Amino acid sequence: MHKVMWNVFLAVIMVVAAAGAHAGQVDRLYVIDCGWAHLADQSLWSPGVNAGVPIDFSDDCYLIHHSSEGYLLWDTGFTDRLAAAPDGVTNPALGQTSHRTQTLVAALAALGVKPADVRYVAISHVHPDHAGNVGAFPDATLIIQKAEWDYAMTLPQKPFGPDRKAMQIEGDKDLMGDGSLVILSTPGHTPGHQSLLVHLEKTGDVVLSGDAVHFQSNWDNRRVPGFNSDKAQSTASMEKIAGLLAQNHAQLWINHDKPSSDARRHAPEFYQ
Ligand SMILES: [Zn+2]
């Protein structure tokens, strides 16, 4: 190609790329308290380590506003029905007592957001502390890995029906086409587990963990819980996230790590 033509070509590419980069952005990310759990024995999540030592897990949801696509909810927490049980509900098999102080629907209402305003509900996986309120958003498109959907359909208590409006994806996906919200396939904890990379203008890049890891010391030591679908996949998913954190200078927000959740600004405050 002639040198002048080549320069014109490059200039056009740069303009197109710049336009793409400004297609939209995440302008607000709210951290919402979606419950918490007291666990009698953390070694169920860290085999052989801290046997018999209790731990508390946070359980956060994240309401994300995209400038051109509207609201996306990442994870839905424990079922809102839990808020009616003041002493929580105990699962003896896990030695876990789960609590909810307010419903997700009420937390959204306090922000002036109705369930019908939520356009997308993306869930990391179908465990009940993440998928508990998918049914409260019947008009939203559920964003889920195909492998997780298939797994959900095998469960005796399905988190949603086979007719649920959904976008089933396979692997990583740049959801809005502008790099602001990128689904990361991170299987292992469940067959189609996923995490979410969020690009924020001021805060920088944040990876919302889902349950790719449960708490900080498990992350630091790359420990895989006993309660897990595929150990090799879980280890590979943690390495994938670690590589991304280094590459993007991103923060990892570990959903169930209560000390770091407590240190974060919760709704009505938000991150930009
Ligand atoms: Zn889980």
Cα Rg, the chain, nearest whole Å: 20
Region 150-178 average pLDDT: 97
Taking the centre of ligand 1 as the mean of its atom positions, its distance from the CA of residue 211, in whole angstroms, is: 5
Among residues 246, 253, 267, which one has the least CA distance to residue 206?
Answer: 253
Taking the centre of ligand 1 as the mean of its atom positions, its distance from the CA of residue 127, in whole angstroms, is: 5
pLDDT of 73 > 90? The answer is yes
Percent pLDDT > 90 in the chain is 90
Mean pLDDT estimate for the chain? 93
Taking the centre of ligand 1 as the mean of its atom positions, its distance from the CA of residue 73, in whole angstroms, is: 17
Taking the centre of ligand 1 as the mean of its atom positions, its distance from the CA of residue 52, in whole angstroms, is: 20
Taking the centre of ligand 1 as the mean of its atom positions, its distance from the CA of residue 1, in whole angstroms, is: 54
Residue pLDDT, tens place only, 103-149: 999 999 999 999 999 999 999 999 999 999 999 999 999 999 999 99
pLDDT of 11 > 80? The answer is no
Among residues 174, 197, 32, which one has the least CA distance to residue 109?
Answer: 32
Taking the centre of ligand 1 as the mean of its atom positions, its distance from the CA of residue 11, in whole angstroms, is: 47
Taking the centre of ligand 1 as the mean of its atom positions, its distance from the CA of residue 10, in whole angstroms, is: 47
Interatomic CA distance for residues 98 and 209, integer angstroms = 20
Taking the centre of ligand 1 as the mean of its atom positions, its distance from the CA of residue 27, in whole angstroms, is: 28
pLDDT, residue 14, reads 42
Taking the centre of ligand 1 as the mean of its atom positions, its distance from the CA of residue 128, in whole angstroms, is: 8
Return left, alpha or beta for 177; rule: phi > 0 is left, psi -120 to 50 is alpha, else beta: left
3-state percent breakdown (helix, strand, coil) of the chain, nearest 5: 30, 30, 45
- Identify the band that residue 92 occupies on the pLDDT scale cut at 50, 70 and 90: very high
Taking the centre of ligand 1 as the mean of its atom positions, its distance from the CA of residue 259, in whole angstroms, is: 19
Taking the centre of ligand 1 as the mean of its atom positions, its distance from the CA of residue 247, in whole angstroms, is: 26
Taking the centre of ligand 1 as the mean of its atom positions, its distance from the CA of residue 34, in whole angstroms, is: 14
Query: Strand pairing of 118-122 and 96-99?
Result: unpaired
Three-state SS annotation for 226-247: CCCCCHHHHHHHHHHHHHHHHH
Taking the centre of ligand 1 as the mean of its atom positions, its distance from the CA of residue 99, in whole angstroms, is: 16
Taking the centre of ligand 1 as the mean of its atom positions, its distance from the CA of residue 267, in whole angstroms, is: 23
Beta bridge partners of 145: 169
DSSP structural state of residue 53: -
Taking the centre of ligand 1 as the mean of its atom positions, its distance from the CA of residue 249, in whole angstroms, is: 26
Task: For residue 186, give the 3-state DSSP assignment.
Answer: coil
List C-alpha distances in Å: 127 to 132, 158, 168.
8, 10, 17
Residue 254 contacts residue 209 (beta carbons within 8 Å) = yes
- Identify the band that residue 23 occupies on the pLDDT scale cut at 50, 70 and 90: confident
Core vs surface per residue 198-226: b (16+ CB within 10 A) or e: bbbeeeebbbbbbbbbbbebbbeeebbbe
Which amino acid is located at 139 in the chain?
A: D
pLDDT, residue 16, reads 43
Taking the centre of ligand 1 as the mean of its atom positions, its distance from the CA of residue 182, in whole angstroms, is: 20
Which amino acid is located at 150 in the chain?
A: D
Structure-token match 């407590």, residue found? 262
Taking the centre of ligand 1 as the mean of its atom positions, its distance from the CA of residue 255, in whole angstroms, is: 10
Taking the centre of ligand 1 as the mean of its atom positions, its distance from the CA of residue 158, in whole angstroms, is: 15
DSSP structural state of residue 266: -
Side-chain-side CA neighbours of residue 43 (13 Å)? 7
pLDDT, residue 242, reads 98
Taking the centre of ligand 1 as the mean of its atom positions, its distance from the CA of residue 3, in whole angstroms, is: 56
Q: What are phi and psi of 124, to 5 degrees?
A: -65, -40
DSSP structural state of residue 5: H
pLDDT, residue 209, reads 98
